[in-house]
Amino acid sequence: MHAWFDAPIGLLKITGSTAEGITEIKYFNEMPPHAVRGNIPACLDECFTQLEEYFSKKRTFFTVKMTFRGTDFQQQVWNELLEIPYGQTTSYLKIAMKLGDRKAVRAIGGACNQNPIPIIAPCHRVIGINGSLVGYNSGIHIKQELLMLENPMAFGKQISLWSL
């Protein structure tokens, strides 16, 4: 089941089921021609509530049930994303080192790029080791907006890397 969520950063298609919880969040610039807005399925209702709270700065972490679909390595990376505190960032290199292979930086970036549940699994909080905003599947401007939402003071000056 899926439903459309109007977020300040654009239109989000939320997909999930009662058994698995949230399985995918995809960004859209506009409603696809075949898409229909409708009632929010009960299995997605809590996700909508938590996203509304997040975007209104009333929520700093998510508790919705979710299921990652991907390789074991991707799931390891996505689970690491869940450990990055709200309003803070880390680097691809620090995640690679935490997973035991500092040479896996590009693979970490690839896994972040394939993250099926962005925002909730906050790949936007992963930046380059030099503090640059690199690589975000839906565009750097979305990454920037999410970081500004979470911590406008730090982002406006310098993003500090969270120590893993």
- 21-28, strands of its sheet edge to edge: 2-7, 10-17, 21-28
3-class SS of residue 29? coil
Task: Choose, from 43, 47, 112, 123, the residue flagged as catalytic.
Answer: 123
On whether the CB atoms of residues 67 and 34 are closer than 8 A, the answer is no
Closest CA to 126 of 145, 143, 142: 143
* Angstrom distance (rounded) from CA 66 to CA 69: 10
* Angstrom distance (rounded) from CA 125 to CA 161: 9
Check if 123 is active-site: yes
Q: Where are the alpha helices (DSSP H) in 11-91?
A: 42-55, 72-81
Active-site annotation, residues: 123
